[in-house]
Chains A and B, each alone.
Chain A
Amino acid sequence: MKIVVCIKQVPATSDAKIDPETKRIVREGVKAVLNPFDTYAVEEAVQLRARFGGEVIALTMGPERAAIALKECISVGADRGVLHADRAIAGSDTWATSYVLSQAILAIGGVDLVLCGKQAIDGDTAQVGPGIAAHLGWLQATYVMKVDDATATGLRVRRMHEDGYDVCDVDFPAVLTVVKDINVPRIPTLRGRLAAEKAEIPVWKPADIGCAPELIGLDGSPTRVVRTQPPPPRSGTTTVLDGSARDSARALVAELRRRSIL
């Protein structure tokens, strides 16, 4: 089973700051981490390889330092990593990003299954996984919370929904996005860490794998960010209760009664 895990290096959101002058996100000096949802995708891939053999390839698109995130995947069992980095892909939105990743998956060749985290914690769009499936014309299953059954030719998976879940059969080749309920990611072993340290990460460029230049980067992206601003404060005033716990509780209950809530 040949599995590609698409991952993203993201800023640790708690560290995200806005430059008051430029109103842009300060990326310099901000800690970058492997997108938490992607750790579940890597783990699921490694578990499937343990049952069926094959290969797990971590793939990402981003700046050169994203190689660190790929090495993190290798430390927990991925066989190798591929980094897609080039000035030409800067500014890609989810349409262009999923296009570049789909072309890289085709260039890797012979892939049965693509796994992604359900979304990245910086963009929070959840659009790249289904976008990859659409570019490839492959089947997709999103918000996967459990792989119930697996064969060499397909999977039976549970998809999480707001009102429960459903079970569906997906034949390969397919793209899955996974939620955190699916597994418990392993901690890297010493051997894993050594493998990650030694691993060489090849850097691919869009031209090398036949990406159409008009479909990548800013030019290939249908959407444009026109402005950014801080979120507005909630209107209204705050009533502060700062007496003893007992007094505050009484005042709060009285207020909720006054509003006919209790």
Chain B
Amino acid sequence: MQIRSESDKAGFRNVWVVAEVLSGKVQPVTHELLGAARPLADARGSEVWAVVLGSGVADGAPALAAYGADAVVVVDDARLAGFTDEVEARVLCRLIDEHRPEIVLCGATTRGRALIPRVAVMARAGLTADCTELGIDPENGDLLQTRPAFGGNILATIRCSSHRPQMSTVRPRVMKAPAPDPSRRARILRADVTPSDASLLKRVVEVFHDANAAFNLADAPIIVSGGRGMKGPDGFELLKRLAARVGGAVGASRAAVDAGWIPYTHQVGQTGQTVQTQVYVACAISGQIQHLVGMQSSDLIVAIDKNPDTPMMKMADIAVVGDVFEVVPALIDEIPKL
């Protein structure tokens, strides 16, 4: 809603995290967001609440306390079994109306990015996508949201001083999850706010889980990734051999995916997957900022390129100056078979 006075603003309290639950399991992004919510709530002298929507989700609610939730709102309803974003948006709006959170955070996943924009429009709230940094302005208590903008060539800081709640999405693996504290406890608030006509809306008829989908990429300890300089599908065959040798997964830049050399599910970067892996090996990737924001929080970055002056080579921890078509085969040769 639009804020007309300071007292309007004071009516909004607490930092909410909308949980992502798949097949009954709370996803890591939810823990990461609870970690990001804590300093915001501390700065505002308020609480961190988690909101869990779905069918059969109540059992997982108490465990969210370990990651920092002071309260967990649970809407457990069989009618929320499939991902019906229209219904979930109405449920969230009802909860927002009732409890008036000051800040609402949600994972920038395919589901979060479908649900939250709908909620923001319905709640007349400001929403900032894919934030990489969140902070509180000490002067007026507003949320300061930083995100890559204009293709990631700049970082924009965005505020929303005249509307509440202030809403942000954050990509998975951008924030670090706190170490869980099993001794923490949270208040559990059960809410029964699913609209009665829920089953009349969109019908989810089937759900397919693909073990080979992008999660593989996000979970791999080592990612061997290729860019335009891989020159074609054959170049990616070479990278697949290296990835197989080190027990890793294959990633790609947008340029390589757009060229059709490798499927979109392998794309790393702003419009693909964000990864935070132990070792990221960038092969002939120049390092457009959209790509960098998707992998720069990896522990160790190795770049291989003929050109030593690319942004990727400048950013890497280890920059190998050389032709990928010579260095990668040499690497495959040097690494003992696992």
Binding site for B on A (CB under 8 A): 11, 13-14, 16-18, 23, 25, 36, 93-95, 98-99, 119, 121-131, 133-135, 139-143, 156, 159-171, 179-181, 221-234, 236, 238-242, 244-246, 248-250, 252-253, 255-256, 259, 261-262
Contact = CB atoms under 8 A, between A and B. Distances in A.
Given A94-B127, A131-B120, A134-B121, A142 B202 contact: no
Given A238-B317, A238-B319, A261-B300, A123 B85 contact: no
B26 interface: no
Given A94-B117, A249-B327, 13 more contacts: A14-B288, A98-B117, A126-B117, A127-B120, A127-B127, A128-B117, A141-B202, A159-B110, A167-B205, A222-B124, A226-B144, A229-B155, A234-B296
Interface string B190-212: 00000000000111111111100
B202 A25 contact: no
A107 B82 CA distance: 33
13 contacts: A25-B150, A121-B271, A124-B290, A161-B109, A162-B213, A166-B204, A229-B157, A230-B155, A240-B321, A246-B330, A248-B330, A253-B335, A261-B279
Mostly, the A contact residues are mixed
Contacts of B326: 245
A194 B5 CA distance: 56
A95 B120 CA distance: 8
A124 B271 contact: yes
B125 interface: yes
B319 A164 contact: no
A166 B317 contact: no
Contact of A164 (B209, B289, B302, B314): B209
B252 interface: no
Nearest to A223: B126
B89 interface: yes
Contacts of B214: 162
Max count, chain A CB within 10 A of own CB: residue among B125, B127, B323: B127
B322 interface: yes
Contact of A140 (B85, B221, B292): B85
A43 to B, nearest CB: 16
A13 B121 contact: no
A94 to B, nearest CB: 7
B334 interface: yes
Contacts of A141: 202
B79 interface: no
User: Which are the 8 A-B pairs with shortest beta-carbon distances?
Assistant: A222-B126, A13-B151, A249-B330, A134-B121, A245-B326, A164-B210, A222-B163, A242-B321
B118 A140 contact: yes
A219 B6 CA distance: 19
Contacts of B158: 223-226
B264 interface: yes
Contacts of A128: 117
B322 A124 contact: no
B333 interface: yes
A161 B111 contact: yes
B32 interface: no
Max count, chain B CB within 10 A of own CB: residue among A128, A156, A250, A253: A253
B111 A168 contact: no
A160 to B, nearest CB: 6
B55 interface: no
Given A125-B130, A168-B202, A170-B202, A131 B334 contact: no
Contacts of B149: 122-124, 225, 228
